[in-house]
Amino acid sequence: MHPNAHRARLRVPLVGLLVGLLAALAPAAATAAQRDVLVVSNNWSGTADLVDPHSFKRLMRLNVIPDEAERVAEIASDDVRTFYFQNIATLVGEGNNQYVDDGFTSPDGRYVYFSRPSFADVVAIDLRTRKIAWRVPVDGYRADHMALSKDGRRLLVSASTANVIDVIDTRQRKIVARVPSGDAPHENNFSRDGKRIFHASIGIPYTDSDDPSQDATKGKRFFQVIDARTYEVTQQTDIGKELIRYGLGTSAAVRPMAIAPDERFIYMQLSFLHGFVEYDLREQRPRRVAVLPLNEVTRDMPRTQYTQDSAHHGLSFNPRGTKLCVAGTMSDYAAIVDRRTLTPDRITRVGKTPYWSTSSADGRYCFVSVAGEDSVSVLSFRSGREVARFRVGDHPQRMRTGTIQRSFVR
């Protein structure tokens, strides 16, 4: 054997080992270049606060409506759009324009995608320039809740008045599919593997026909499971009909939902329900109902005074799936609930109109947006106590955790 032959045979594995090491190091380098962030969407002010989820310090405040004058001029030139614009403010926004509802960071940490209800569109804000990188109008006249696929390619947005979910390709920057929904599509979630979409519609929550006998006037409200590849609806359920035997006087309108880690069970808040439902996806039926306390105000409050029919609006799991964090909207509290027993570990008064909850990535905290007080309450999943609170913009609602490039924070 030539003396260099053995060395030549070793060279190939060594090169392969080096390539493997570089590949293994690449994700770590990308992660090191990014930092965790909590995106708080301030509905009425048209801003978003990007907050450090560990120190609770604001990293930046984004103007999500830098094109406000242009958009308002467009709307004013169209009688139908003007009608919807004014009625969104009157009927949904409690007298305020709904400028920003939901916000997700892109996986590379360069953009935040926002839905803007009153402008009926989705925009991508470039975090380096703080300007709009692209804009996609949705079908109809109002944009609502969103969901982003793990690879960041597909952005789902509920087009409220068109009764469809618009699927936006974030690279092509256009709508590439439309999924039929019930009246007023609302909540969207991707499954962990990205193969399914869990969706719900809420009907018409701003009318005064809130007595159970008038429930049919609220429109078609469904929970749907959708194939995320073909966008075919594979399951459609009227949760209200399933719950008649419980005698709770609730609605079929599924509000926020929390998906258990094994994805067999989905926990759903419903219009007028002070609590939530445990729904078995395998058996396609409710299994248990958690009924949580009313406070001294809501015990005597007529249903017509509920904000958008939301007795409770805000539900999230800790990462282990052992506890749920509940925003008790009309009772002004947040509750940490044991999933095994469906009973509260602790109920904490957080202030007027808590309207969303989300878990920190490390599972230590639950963030609850307190819309009526322009603040976010930070609860410990372990103790159930409020451990911090910080101020945000006018009327915070949706909050999402994500990552952004470190270099963009000055």
Q: Where are the domains of the chain?
A: 33-408
Say if residues 42 and 30 touch (Cβ distance below 8 Å): no
Tell me the pLDDT tens digit for each residue of 63-88: 999 999 999 999 999 999 999 999 99
Structure tokens of 2?
Answer: 């030539």
Q: In terms of pLDDT, which residue wins out, 66 or 22?
A: 66
Instruction: Tell me what the mean pLDDT of segment 222-243 comes to.
Output: 94
In this predicted structure, the answer to whether residue 109 has a pLDDT above a threshold of 80 is: yes
Tell me the pLDDT tens digit for each residue of 318-352: 999 999 999 999 999 999 999 999 999 999 999 99
In this predicted structure, the answer to whether residue 312 has a pLDDT above a threshold of 90 is: yes
pLDDT of res. 240: 87
C-alpha dihedral sign at 337, 340, 343, 346: negative
In this predicted structure, the answer to whether residue 25 has a pLDDT above a threshold of 50 is: no
CATH 3.20.10.10 fits 33-408, yes or no: no
Please report, as a single letter, which amino acid is at residue 102. Answer: D
Q: Give the SS3 label for residue 184.
A: coil
pLDDT of res. 17: 40
Q: In terms of pLDDT, which residue wins out, 325 or 240?
A: 325
Share of the chain above pLDDT 70, in %: 92
* CB-neighbour burial class of residue 191 (10 A; exposed 0-12, middle 13-18, buried 19+): middle
Instruction: Tell me what the mean pLDDT of segment 289-308 comes to.
Output: 89
In this predicted structure, the answer to whether residue 273 has a pLDDT above a threshold of 90 is: yes
Phi-psi region of 363 (alpha: psi -120 to 50; beta: other; left: phi over 0): left
d(CA 206, CA 312): 15
Q: Give the SS3 label for residue 333.
A: strand
Query: Cα 214 to the chain's mean position, in Å?
Result: 29
Dump the DSSP string for 217-246. Answer: GG----EEEEETTT--EEEEE-HHHHTGGG
Q: Which residues of 63-86 are buried (b: 16+ CB within 10 A; e: fewer)?
A: bbbebbeebbeebeeeeebeebbe
Instruction: Tell me what the mean pLDDT of segment 288-298 comes to.
Output: 90
